[in-house]
Amino acid sequence: MTTFVLIHGAWHGAWCWRKLTPLLESAGHSVVAPDLPSMGADRTDPGSVTLDSWARFCADLVANQTESVVLVGHSRAGIVVSQVAELVPERVRRLVYVAGFMLPSGASLVEAARTDETSLMLANMIPVARGITCTLRPEVLREAFFGRCPDEDYEFARANLSPEPLMPLVTPLKLSVQRFGRVPRSYVECQHDRAVTLPAQRRMQQALPCDAVFSLDADHSPHFSRAAELAHLLGNA
């Protein structure tokens, strides 16, 4: 069986895995799903958060597991899990990007998002807290993230979203072929994604080829809208 470390995306917290976690555990897997610092229930000052601090926080979690892990990053967490693989490649059995920002060294999330012209995400971000964090315009939340989710999941998620620290989004990745590049990677693309659109997901796959690509008939939140299918894919990663 596998130890999965699930890293949530922007504005989310560990709460977003509430449907996926029991499905993986019922199949005999172990799951570690943290709140990133300043996200979810964590009260770290968002002004202290950097891409490096997030990556080191996750790398410590990974290193403390009894076996190498499958490290799953949803959306913005793609940049986090890539940086974790650079730090502790020997502890990561596989990277799995779920509609995730899978970017080469030197690229930043904001830079990549600017090329996704039909995405609802970047154009609807609102800086708050003196530019330290950002939110998303409430009128686009449903369509951008939860278009195919049941109403109860959307309402639960909407009530739990929190401001996103901006610094990690503008920080270029620092990756090497020798470390990040040696970790096998898979991509789970979401066909009806309005936050990280399918063409953008496929451009990232072309730039950094994966040895396995799976496609889900899903919105940006398959952990809600297609949890059973996502659990099955991850269980076979």
Q: Cα separations (Å) of 58 from 44, 93, 146, 218, 224?
A: 15, 15, 26, 27, 23
d(CA 164, CA 169): 9
Strand 92-98, strand 3-7: pairing: unpaired
d(CA 109, CA 95): 18
Residue 159: other Cβ atoms inside 10 A: 8
Q: Cα separations (Å) of 177 from 10, 150, 195?
A: 27, 41, 29
137: confidence class by pLDDT, cuts 50, 70, 90: very high
Contacts of residue 120, Cβ cutoff 8 Å, sequence gap at least 6? 140, 143, 144, 194, 195
Cβ-contact 123, 194 below 8 angstroms = no
Residue 179: other Cβ atoms inside 10 A: 14
Domain-wise residue ranges, the chain? 3-235
The pLDDT, as a whole number, for residue 237 is 74
Token pair for 155: 């309402």
Over residues 164-174, mean pLDDT: 98
**Torsion angle of the four alpha carbons 101, 200, 107, 214, in this order, in degrees rounded to the nearest 10:** 40
For the segment 200-212, what is each residue's pLDDT rounded down to a tens digit? 999 999 999 999 9
The pLDDT, as a whole number, for residue 131 is 86
Q: What angle do CA 68, 69, 71 make, to 5 degrees?
A: 145
For the segment 101-111, what is each residue's pLDDT rounded down to a tens digit? 999 999 999 99
The pLDDT, as a whole number, for residue 236 is 83
CATH topology of domain 3-235: Rossmann fold (3.40.50)
Average model confidence (pLDDT) across the chain: 97
The pLDDT, as a whole number, for residue 130 is 80
Handedness of CA 69, 72, 77, 82 (dihedral sign): positive
Q: Which pTM does this prediction carry?
A: 0.98
Cβ-contact 75, 219 below 8 angstroms = no
- 194 — phi, psi (to 5°)? -105, 0
Strands (E), 84-184: 92-98, 125-128, 133-136, 164-165
- DSSP run (H or E) holding 69: strand 69-74
